[in-house]
Amino acid sequence: MTTAVYNDDTVAAISTPPGVGGISVVRISGNDALRIALNGLAIKTLKPRYAQFTHVVDLDTDEILDDVVVTYFKAPASYTGEDTVEISCHGGFSAAPAILALYYRLGARPALPGEFTRRAFVNGKLDLLQAEAVADLIHAVSDTGQKLATRTLSGKLSEKVHALRNELTDIASILELELDFSEEEITPLPHEEINKKIDEAKTHIFALVDSYSAGKILREGVLVPIVGRPNTGKSSLLNALLEEDRAIISHIPGTTRDTIEESFAHQGFLFRLVDTAGLRKTQDPIEKIGTERAYKTLGDADMILLVVDITMTDGYAFEKQFLSRYSKIPVIVVYNKIDLSFDLPVLDAEISIAVSATHHQHLDVLLEKMLSTIQLHYRVDGSTIAITKQRHKHALLQVIEALNCARQAIFQSLSNEYIALDIREAINALDDITGHTTSEDVLNNIFDHFCIGK
């Protein structure tokens, strides 16, 4: 559990990952960072924002530990908002740990996970949305995820939340002003007007709640189960899209038992394909577990590839039923094995593509369709601003709940005092998102998930 002591002690950590590499960086931050850093260096002063070449010298033996380049960031112009010294030493497994051990002996405390960023947050350098974006940026698994995190880090999402906050503060202020003055002194805003303003704010909040799916896709990738009846060519399609011989393929129906997840990037998006067991009624206990897993994966799907074997001539009852059951998620019907026939079954599907998995025919068309479907359905593009955490969604739903209470209070003709109270509650819930009023427990939970050194 994170100890909530900040600013009055100086912390140090290695900010680069362990392993062989060109350089490693040891970071020291806190009131005493400059003094502690200089005690281990062969130079006597550090000029702010200059890279200075020097040595780190062992306290007891006078031995040079490493040649280093040191940069001093004087408070408040640093990442943490405190005096910070960054020592770039040689990479690998020995130099940085030796330098860090020396600075512990010189008085720095080991930094906790995410402590540099937490200090930046406490010192007002970042709000909580931006701090979370730092973690997202470090852990980004796709181009789109990296870009979304960068936009959030630059404050784009915070701006949206602040704009919402201003809208709500305006409403509360009007109501509170009316409380302070009698009706002779000011003309009260009609309740229909207040209702209108609340509804406008709600529309903006709902849009932000809706952005969660887009944010999730950009951040975690698009989960795409490949499903269909046995032997339709699901595993062949997985292998063809991955351009890799990943899943076992055979002419025997029921070959795939377990789900197999593999990812690939296309146009910056990460597609997480899941090959599944063929869907059919079966007495085989292992195949049964396989189909159960397939249905479970479907529950989390962002998009589905329903593979149909066009050589089958049985009326496609299964596929028709499937399409009516999964009407809320985008389904692409992939008519496979067109190298064998051109007679496409007519299924009532919004999107269908004919391919040959084994002959790699029209896979590029399928990929383009997958991409455009995601962009259209989840309204994502290169400038999407979206929430990415359940925490954000939960707080926004609380805002809506408080605004509904305000609407109710107006409906019941309660005094402005009560309406304003509800609006203030909505504002508090918004402040939870940016970190104004976030509880220590929530903060601990967020920063404990960071790595040490960030």
Ligand X SMILES: Nc1nc2c(ncn2[C@@H]2O[C@H](COP(=O)(O)OP(=O)(O)OP(=O)(O)O)[C@@H](O)[C@H]2O)c(=O)[nH]1
Q: Which residues bind ligand X (CB under 6 A)?
A: 230-236, 249-251, 253-256, 278, 336-337, 339-340, 356-359
- Min CB(243)–Mg ion separation in Å: 17
Partner that binds at residue 84, options Mg ion, ligand X, none, CB closer than 5 to 8 Å by kind: none
Q: Are strands 351-354 and 331-336 parallel, antiparallel or unpaired?
A: parallel
Question: Nearer Cβ to Mg ion, position 235 or 291?
Answer: 235
- Work out the number of other CB atoms within 10 angstroms of the CB of residue 210: 16
384 part of the interface to Mg ion, by CB under 5 A = no
* Distinct helix (H) and strand (E) counts, the chain: 14, 12
Q: Which residue has the tokens 């003709």?
A: 413
Core vs surface per residue 136-160: b (16+ CB within 10 A) or e = bbeebebebbbbbbebbbeebbbeb
Question: Nearer Cβ to ligand X, position 127 or 275?
Answer: 275
Dist CA 138 CA 450 (whole Å)? 9
- Min CB(284)–ligand X separation in Å: 12
Q: Which residue has the tokens 């809706």?
A: 210
256 part of the interface to Mg ion, by CB under 5 A = yes
Question: Nearer Cβ to ligand X, position 97 or 253?
Answer: 253
Cα 21 to its chain centre, rounded Å, is: 28
- Min CB(338)–Mg ion separation in Å: 19
- Min CB(419)–ligand X separation in Å: 59
Question: Nearer Cβ to Mg ion, position 200 or 284?
Answer: 284
In order of 112, 259, 301, 358, the CA distances from 228 in angstroms are 48, 13, 14, 17
Backbone φ and ψ for 93, nearest 5 degrees, come out as: -95, -5
Cα 224 to its chain centre, rounded Å, is: 18
Question: Nearer Cβ to ligand X, position 213 or 341?
Answer: 341
Which DSSP letter does residue 305 get? E
- Binding positions for Mg ion, 310-369, rule CB under 5 A: none
Backbone φ and ψ for 169, nearest 5 degrees, come out as: -65, -40
Dist CA 262 CA 240 (whole Å)? 12
Question: Nearer Cβ to ligand X, position 337 or 392?
Answer: 337
80 part of the interface to Mg ion, by CB under 5 A = no
Partner that binds at residue 117, options Mg ion, ligand X, none, CB closer than 5 to 8 Å by kind: none
Partner that binds at residue 336, options Mg ion, ligand X, none, CB closer than 5 to 8 Å by kind: ligand X
Name the residue whose CB lies closest to ligand X: 278
- The two tokens of residue 61 are 């033996």
- Min CB(258)–Mg ion separation in Å: 10
Stretch of residues binding Mg ion (CB under 5 A), selected from 56-64, 85-93, 232-240, 291-299: 232-240
Q: Judged by CB under 5 A, which of 71, 235, 416, 438 binds Mg ion?
A: 235
The DSSP-derived string for 5-64 is --SSS-EEEE-S-SSS-SEEEEEEESTTHHHHHHHTBSSS---BT-EEEEEEE-TTT--E
> What track of x and - describes contact with Mg ion for positions 179 through 218 (by CB under 5 A)?
----------------------------------------
Stretch of residues binding Mg ion (CB under 5 A), selected from 219-227, 234-242, 311-319, 405-413: 234-242
Residue 170: which residues within 8 A CB-CB, separation 6 or more? 197
- Min CB(289)–ligand X separation in Å: 14
Partner that binds at residue 337, options Mg ion, ligand X, none, CB closer than 5 to 8 Å by kind: ligand X
Name the residue whose CB lies closest to Mg ion: 256
297 part of the interface to Mg ion, by CB under 5 A = no
- The two tokens of residue 177 are 């002003």
Nearest to 233 by CA among 310, 295, 292: 310
- Min CB(371)–ligand X separation in Å: 22
The Cα angle at residue 356 between residues 350 and 357, in degrees rounded to 5: 100
Partner that binds at residue 272, options Mg ion, ligand X, none, CB closer than 5 to 8 Å by kind: none
- Min CB(369)–Mg ion separation in Å: 22
The site for Mg ion, by CB under 5 A, has a size of 4
Using CB under 5 A, list all residues that contact Mg ion.
234-235, 255-256
